[in-house]
Chain A
Amino acid sequence: DAMVIQNPRYQVTQFGKPVTLSCSQTLNHNVMYWYQQKSSQAPKLLFHYYDKDFNNEADTPDNFQSRRPNTSFCFLDIRSPGLGDAAMYLCATSRDLTGAGEQYFGPGTRLTVT
């Protein structure tokens, strides 16, 4: 009964080779988030979509982009992965930005850059 699904769970890409991670949700939530989490660190928000409105964090590198073609799906595109981009990438959803604040997380995609 997974509510936030991420594919693939493990992704290996080469240095500089574009890669796309995907996330889907069955909760019909308005907001979808992408976080980067490096080993032994807290999740760091990259950006989020409120419906179709994209909100980028100020310190998110231009190398990271996102698409949300519909309510259910959201993609993270890394245009030219560097070794420093190896991390766990977490997708999360929430019904809204205010009110109920709980975010539901997917299992994550672990990205390795060779």
Chain B
Amino acid sequence: GESVGLHLPTLSVQEGDNSIINCAYSNSASDYFIWYKQESGKGPQFIIDIRSNMDKRQGQRVTVLLNKTVKHLSLQIAATQPGDSAVYFCAEREGSNQGGKLIFGQGTELSVKP
């Protein structure tokens, strides 16, 4: 069946460095992708999204890249800060003919060393 998975379950970076979190998806019909940040004991928090007709989108300190050819999604965080420490989930939305539900990837735990 369709699945969304992350390559790296944990990522440790030095404060101030850039972070890259990767995600692979398998459903070529997915039309929308989201990155969520989840801090311990809290619900997922929206970071950035991208539609399938785009290949790059930038936010404040974050950039999402979408490569539909290889079904790969990445989240780049510039100048990573201790407050960025959390678990990051990518999620894909199945096409509208599938009801539009989100499927979440495994999650990557980002640890920022001061």
Contact = CB atoms under 8 A, between A and B. Distances in A.
B43 A101 contact: no
Interface of B: 32, 34, 36, 41-46, 49, 89, 93, 96, 99-107
A90 B43 contact: yes
A26 interface: no
A107 B26 CA distance: 29
Contacts, number: 55
B102 A42 contact: no
Contacts of A97: 96, 99-101
Contacts of A81: none
A101 B45 contact: no
Interface residues of A, number: 25
B34 A102 contact: yes
From B34, B46, B104, B106, residue with most partner A Cβ within 10 Å:
B104
B98 to A, nearest CB: 10
A105 B34 CA distance: 13
